[in-house]
Amino acid sequence: MTESTTIRWEQDRSGVVTLVLDDPNQSANTMNRAFRDSLARVTDRLEAERDTIRGIIVTSAKKTFFAGGDLRDLIRVTPDTAQDLFDGGMAIKRHLRRIETLGKPVVAAINGAALGGGYELALACHHRIALDTPGSKIGCPEVTLGLLPGGGGVVRTVRMLGITDALLKVLLQGTQYNPRRALDNGLVDEIADTREDMLAKARAYIDAHPESAQPWDRPGYRIPGGTPPIRSSPPTCPPSRPTCASRRTAPLPGPAHHHGRRRRGLPGRLRDRPGHRGPLLRRTGRRTDLEEHDPGVLLRPPGRQLRRQPPGGVAPRKVTKVAVLGAGMMGAGIAYSCARAGIDVVLKDVSLEAAVKGKDYSGKLCAKAVAKGRTSQEKADALLARITPTAEAADLAGCDAVIEAVFEDTSLKHKVFQEIQDVVAPDALLCSNTSTLPITALAEGVERQGDFIGLHFFSPVDKMPLVEIIKGERTGDEALARAFDLVRQISKTPIVVNDSRGFFTSRVIGHFINEGVAMVGEGIEPASVEQAAAQAGYPAKVLSLMDELTLTLPRKIRDESRRAVEEAGGTWTAHPAETVVDRMVDEFERPGRSGGAGFYEYGEDGKRVRLWPGLREHFTRPGHEIPFADMQERMLFAEALDTVRLLEEGVLTSVADANIGSILGIGFPGWTGGVLQYVNGYDGGLPGFVARARELAERYGERFTPPALLVTKAEHGEVFTDAR
């Protein structure tokens, strides 16, 4: 029999076969062609040698168990190759089903992360044991990429957990569980402290279950919670969980397909619901078995085509010692991220007390990680030892990179750079963390403008994965390459944009906020506005997000932008949201959460209580409504249309950067695949998007008029892509 290349067969004298996942060509196991071929060979051998086999253990030789589908394969899919991808996925499901119904106990010994296809592989086993190791994550996060599980995950989670828990715990939210939480939520059956303990428990299960089978393959099995009745369209949420609507399940295309598929995947429930948006991959063939009920569907190509290489011609260079100027929330988070990456940090503020307070932020994060078993006390102590708080500029000597993170004030930023530029290394990279101020203007405050660049971090820095790199007019290629290397060194995802007020992320999210606030000003019920944002898929509702940012900050940015436009000889076009913000701040003295009052009311502990009743009193027009779809798409289109304008203006130079930045940085709904992929995937393609934009413009204002670039691409049958 031909030898498997990615799955190693090990059989002991007692007849237990251990299938060791070990792709020799990758650092992680993925569901690629080599795995599919290996799985076919192993399955044939298992069936051929069934009588000599007492049980099967599936584990991995890698640090992770299985990383799931190979996104590189998905990115390369075209309409011409879609059928091949579909057939490959169906083949994997057939092989897993053959192993599942072999009549022998099959145990998944999950020795690390098992996400997506990796967890689906474990689901095909009769028993799942997870190694309780730091960094291990378990679940099906496909929905966050605009994908659906394609390896049997939908039907198996429904059979295992019931419809409600399968949807809310696994499929719709994309939650990634650590081993203990996975056990608590029913995703695994046991956890183990060591690899040896894990394998011993796997053997114990095999000893106790010589003729194992899945519960749903036994006579009389019933799905937990019962089987739902057939309807012509999916319910907005499981009948037993009426609060599900607040979890944003109904309107999202990804979750909507989950609703349809978890019903079609039930015995006797194989009819497609009419009228729903068809998947990209066409279903073919007659469904006759479990795996045939669960075809893989690619709703949106993932918007994470990461640009792995920095600008060419510059040798990679690591930062060894970084100066962080400003120990507030942003500076403290940046210091922690750098120290976690092994970089020595000098954290400077105007006083030693303030700098020490900034370091304490890292201390709290480390203590929390130790308490949860995510790191050891030794490693936490080493991280903290790399951060040196100071108020003295002289302590920055030898730093080969500077990241300034003081308040958004041009003169202040100039001042702090002038204090240290002659102290740090003579070729130190000079970075400013700013969300809106033009980098070219900030560079005027330093002598080496070619080494000056913008690094826009997102709050909280320790959690947010994106950094927006802003290239000023005089930023050199070497500085750009070094900034790219630094961002990757601290395990963040970089996108690169050209200089402009607000850059990409801050400018675009401002349109989302303005549109939501404008609807309040028009007299629409504020709770409906919040629900529209939630059900469009935004992780933060628009008015609550405005409160978090504070109403005074967007107003300050607006005033600066208007002044810049007028000084350049242009005419400022006021947005309908401006009046609402001005009244909230000036008339009602409600500046946002930090001020204790905004669009929401807050308790003494600072927690959000409810929408401020005064909104209804002062803004709402009883009986005034607009279509709910319009409310959702006004926010989505406002961001998408301005992203296209940024491409026109040359601020954005990469479609991938737009998609990545919109999801990882500013919370554009993940089901879309990114802001420009949302345009590509809209019903009717770009022509359909243009037609809908013109419809919104007629109803709600010229700001929805499609840009010339969008219209041209629509007329030529093109899409937004970086492909040449």
Q: Is 471 helix (H, G, I), strand (E, B) or coil?
A: strand
User: 593: exposed, middle or buried (C-beta count within 10 Å: 0-12, 13-18, 19+)?
Assistant: buried
710 vs 707: CA distance, rounded Å: 5
546 vs 575: CA distance, rounded Å: 16
143 vs 129: CA distance, rounded Å: 25
Instruction: Select from 516, 519, 517, 555 the least CA-distant residue to 538.
Output: 516
* Residues of the chain with confidence (pLDDT) below 50: 1, 230-252, 254-264, 266-302, 304-308
Answer for the pair 157, 166: CB distance below 8 angstroms, yes or no.
yes
Domain that holds residue 463: 321-498
CATH number at residue 691: 1.10.1040.50
Answer for the pair 39, 19: CB distance below 8 angstroms, yes or no.
no
Same domain as 521, residue 453 = no
Answer for the pair 74, 301: CB distance below 8 angstroms, yes or no.
yes
Q: What is the pLDDT of residue 3?
A: 63
Contacts of residue 51, defined as CB under 8 A and 6 or more positions apart, other chains included, come to none
Looking at 445, 480, 498, which one is the last position of a domain?
A: 498
Q: Which pTM value belongs to this model?
A: 0.73
- Region class of 548: left (phi > 0), else alpha (psi between -120 and 50), else beta: alpha
Q: What is the pLDDT of residue 553?
A: 84
Question: What are the pLDDT digits (tens) for 618-635?
Answer: 999 998 999 999 999 999
Looking at 498, 533, 560, which one is the last position of a domain?
A: 498
Looking at 293, 312, 342, which one is the last position of a domain?
A: 293
Same domain as 404, residue 526 = no
CB atoms within 10 A of CB 488: 18
Same domain as 478, residue 409 = yes
Q: Is 55 helix (H, G, I), strand (E, B) or coil?
A: strand
Contacts of residue 62, defined as CB under 8 A and 6 or more positions apart, other chains included, come to 21, 22, 23, 27, 28, 29, 112
Question: What is the number of structural domains in the chain?
Answer: 3
Tokens of 542: 């628009």
CATH number at residue 452: 3.40.50.720
Q: What is the pLDDT of residue 455?
A: 97
267 vs 677: CA distance, rounded Å: 35
* Amino acid found at 351: S
For residue 298, is it within any domain? Answer: no
For residue 315, is it within any domain? Answer: no
For residue 590, is it within any domain? Answer: yes
Same domain as 724, residue 578 = yes
Same domain as 95, residue 117 = yes
For residue 17, what are the β-bridge partners?
11, 56
Q: Look at strands 16-21 and 7-11 and give their pairing.
A: antiparallel
Sheet strands side by side (includes 344-348) = 387-390, 344-348, 321-325, 401-404, 429-432, 452-457, 466-471, 493-498
Q: What is the pLDDT of residue 282?
A: 28
Same domain as 463, residue 593 = no
Same domain as 506, residue 490 = no
Same domain as 347, residue 266 = no
For residue 531, is it within any domain? Answer: yes
For residue 312, is it within any domain? Answer: no
Q: What is the pLDDT of residue 561?
A: 86
Same domain as 652, residue 530 = yes
For residue 303, is it within any domain? Answer: no
Q: What is the pLDDT of residue 608?
A: 94
For residue 302, is it within any domain? Answer: no
CATH number at residue 256: 3.90.226.10
Q: What is the pLDDT of residue 31?
A: 87
Same domain as 15, residue 150 = yes
Same domain as 353, residue 390 = yes
Beta strands in 77-179, from DSSP E residues, in sequence order: 106-110, 114-115, 127-131, 138-139
For residue 606, is it within any domain? Answer: yes
Q: What is the pLDDT of residue 146?
A: 67
Q: How far apart are the first and last CA of the chain?
A: 44
Beta strands in 208-327, from DSSP E residues, in sequence order: 321-325
Same domain as 472, residue 373 = yes
